[in-house]
Amino acid sequence: MKVLYAIQGTGNGHLSRARDVIPALQKKGLELDILVSGIQADIQIPHPVKYQLQGLSFIFGKQGNVNLWRTYLKSNAARLQKEIKSIPIENYDLVINDFEPVSAWACKLKNKPSVSFSHQAAVLSPNSPKPDKNDLMGKFILKNYAPTTQQFGLHFRAYGEGIYTPIIRKDIRTAETKEGDHYTVYLPSYSDGRILKILSEVPDIKWEVFSKHNKVEFFGKNISIRPITNEAFVHSMVTSKGVLCGAGFETPAEALYLGKKLMVIPMKGQYEQQCNSAALKELGVPVIKSLKNKHLDKLRKWVDSEERIVVNYPDITEQIIDQLLEEAVLG
């Protein structure tokens, strides 16, 4: 069977998950090609990529949001259409899609079935938690960004049929975990300046900040800022006292799996992260709306707390792949 596995390259979570999904697919004896689209990732996958495309990336801002202007400038409709037409989608028996728009629209335009294997598929399920404030535009974008014909979803809990607990990559599962005296910080939608300004107000804590905006290491009195590498980030997280991050999926899931204290700050105007915040709140994870002085008391309270959330995320990647392939072939 010839399979195309298409991965979203905006942010690092999709590619981190692919590090475990690709070997699981390769074990099945498939003829596997990999497609990656997007320009916002900081990590690579240790596998040959057949199609490396610009796709349609959301550009992170520096004030807790998506930079809509830069996103618009980077989105070239003519180039995107050319990329969609360039993929020989008809040559594949199966297309597995992790929220990747080029292959999704190539399939849609040629009436070819495609299987979503992503967190977004679970977020869209009516069984998954939603924020109190309805966001019709955000929901529309999430639903139509990378449309597929069949869905397998990943979420913080198995909220219903076709939704599974997170894939925790082997880098995390096999790491030697211990509790150090620092907190790991990953807030890519905030500027380093904003992060420094707020975290310096909690001076008795050691903060290890991983930055999307700075390629040079900076070491202050109690705050370090480092560029993102997979090895450095994993080491920081598994030896941390807690994790302060955006309300994405992979990093919060990994922090929960490791038994670390967790606090999240959802990106403004990002529907998926608002949904994730609702789910994490149900689990008991503290959520603050933004990185501002008015939320410092909540941040200090979290630092002083010893409360941790207990989860059970078994290693079921191959089991999910088996079911996906079986249902896709039978379907």
Residues in contact with 29: Cβ distance below 8 Å, sequence separation at least 6, in sequence order: none
Query: pLDDT band at residue 14, thresholds of 50, 70 and 90?
Result: confident
Interior/surface letters 135-170, b for 16+ CB within 10 angstroms, e for the rest: beebbeebeebbebbbbbbbbbbebeebbbbbbbbe
Per the CB < 8 A criterion, the answer to whether 243 and 261 are in contact is yes
Q: What integer pLDDT is reported at residue 313 of this predicted model? A: 97
Which three-class secondary structure state does DSSP give residue 245?
strand
Residue keyed to tokens 């998506």? 66
pLDDT of residue 80: 83
Q: What is the pLDDT of residue 224?
A: 94
User: How much is the pLDDT for 221?
Assistant: 84
pLDDT at 59 over 80: no
Among 37-46, 260-269, 294-303, the range scoring the smallest mean pLDDT is 37-46
Token readout for 299 is 């941040």
Task: Give the span between the Cα atoms of 55 and 34, in whole angstroms.
Answer: 14
The per-residue pLDDT for range 149-165, each reduced to its tens digit, is: 999 999 999 999 999 99
- 264 forms bridges with which residues in the sheet? 245, 287
Q: What is the CA radius of gyration of the chain?
A: 19
Give the largest Cα separation in the chain, rounded: 60
**Tokens 């975990």 label which residue?**
177
Phi-psi region of 43 (alpha: psi -120 to 50; beta: other; left: phi over 0): beta
Tell me the mean pLDDT in the region 217-226. 88
Task: List Cα–Cα distances, 107 to 84, 102, 104, in angstroms.
Answer: 9, 9, 5
Collapsing DSSP states into helix, strand and coil, what is residue 105? helix
Which residues neighbour 231 within 8 Å (Cβ) at sequence distance 6 or greater?
Answer: none
Lowest mean pLDDT among 6-15, 150-159, 180-189, 297-306: 6-15
Cα 250 from Cα 13, distance rounded (Å)? 5
**3-state class percentages of the chain: helix first, strand second, coil last, to nearest 5:** 40, 20, 40
Reported as a pLDDT band with limits 50, 70 and 90, residue 214 is confident
pLDDT(300) > 80: yes
- At residue 7, does pLDDT exceed 70? yes
Task: Collect all residues with Cβ–Cβ distance below 8 Å to 149 and sequence separation of at least 6.
Answer: 107, 113, 114, 115
pLDDT tens figures, 136-146: 888 888 898 89
Q: Is residue 60 within 8 Å of 123, Cβ to Cβ?
A: no
Give me the mean pLDDT over the 214-239 stretch: 89
**Res. 73: pLDDT tops 60:** no
Confidence of residue 67 (pLDDT cuts 50, 70, 90): very low
Alpha helices in the chain (DSSP H): 13-26, 68-74, 77-86, 101-109, 119-123, 136-144, 170-173, 192-199, 230-238, 250-257, 271-283, 296-304, 317-330
pLDDT tens string 313-329 = 999 999 999 999 998 86
User: 294, exposed or middle or buried, with CB in 10 Å at 0-12, 13-18, 19+?
Assistant: exposed
Please choose, from the candidates 104, 141, 128, the residue with its C-alpha nearest in 3D space to the C-alpha of residue 249.
128
